[in-house]
Amino acid sequence: MNPKTGKRTLRAGYAPSTIAHNLTVVHGFYAFHQPFGRGSLINPVPASAARRAALAHRSPLEVRQQHRRAWLRPKVPVRHPRSVPDGQWDELFAQMSSRPPRRGWPIWPQTWRRTDCRWRECRSGGPAGASPARWTYWAARRIFQRAWEALGSNWTLHDLRHTAAKRMARDPELKLREVQTILRHTHISTTELYTAVGLDDLLDKLGAYYARPVQPVSWPTQYAADDIEAVFGAGQ
């Protein structure tokens, strides 16, 4: 567990979600070609009949049926996406650039302009803008990875997408359907994951609540002091 981010360190091998995704792709490939008589007669990745029945069209009033996982399928835990806190967000861009960081969504144009200048500077060996450079995903990933390593954290480039999604999903000016379209989520349930309140949010709100000054208790002047003491006790 990284002490700064609270994220688990990646273990050796593939994650259960990666294994499940690959099995789905292989199963779909053979299922597509079987009606045309191509490929093997038996799908190498078997499906669960109970799961198909549970996911079939049903009334929302019915209780969701429990089903066993298909053979080869690992158990994938449900995890809510984590976003980069504002403080660590500022540290990231302070590490990447000598200019003061500006807090905002990762998809803001000035964010990518600052990152692109840093990328050109690394490629050209000189000041930003000395020579054109090709922007690629792996280049951006390596730039952010170096910055995170210098800060002692284990955030990833995809966590920036989670950060943007979380801020957009909680913006009162944006509808959830609009956020779904921006993120290109197939199902609205995927977008709804970003509306869940995380432990970090609760801790921040509790800290702000207890940091508030205690407001003195006051009563309207039309109430007599003896009546208030009789009802609420002494000291009120």
pLDDT reported for residue 107: 44
Q: What is residue 177's predicted lDDT score, i.e. its pLDDT?
A: 93
Phi-psi region of 232 (alpha: psi -120 to 50; beta: other; left: phi over 0): alpha
pLDDT the model gives residue 111: 53
Whole-angstrom distance, CA of residue 70 vs CA of residue 2:
34
Q: Which amino acid is at 207?
A: G
Q: Which pLDDT score is estimated for 13?
A: 86
List average pLDDT for each run of 10 residues in the chain, which is 236 residues long: 81 87 92 88 84 69 74 82 85 69 45 53 49 67 86 88 91 92 91 84 85 83 82 68
What's the pLDDT at 175? 93
pLDDT of residue 87: 84
DSSP per position, the chain:
--TTT-PPPPPSS--HHHHHHHHHHHHHHHHHHGGGT-S-SS-SS---HHHHHHHSS--TTSPPPP-PPPTTPPP----------HHHHHHHHHHH-SSPP----TT-HHHHHHHHHHHHHHHHSSSTTSS-----HHHHHHHHHHHHHHHT----HHHHHHHHHHHHHT-TTS-HHHHHHHHT-SSHHHHHGGGSPPHHHHHHHHHHHHHSPPPPP---TTS-HHHHHHHH-TT-
Query: Given the structure tokens 């990666």, which residue do they identify?
Result: 18
pLDDT at 127: 47
Regarding pTM above 0.75, the answer is no
pLDDT for position 38 = 87
Spell out the SS3 assignment of 146-199: HHHHHHCCCCCHHHHHHHHHHHHHCCCCCCHHHHHHHHCCCCHHHHHHHHCCCH
User: What is the structure's pLDDT at 189?
Assistant: 87
Instruction: Quote the tokens at residue 179.
Output: 């956020």
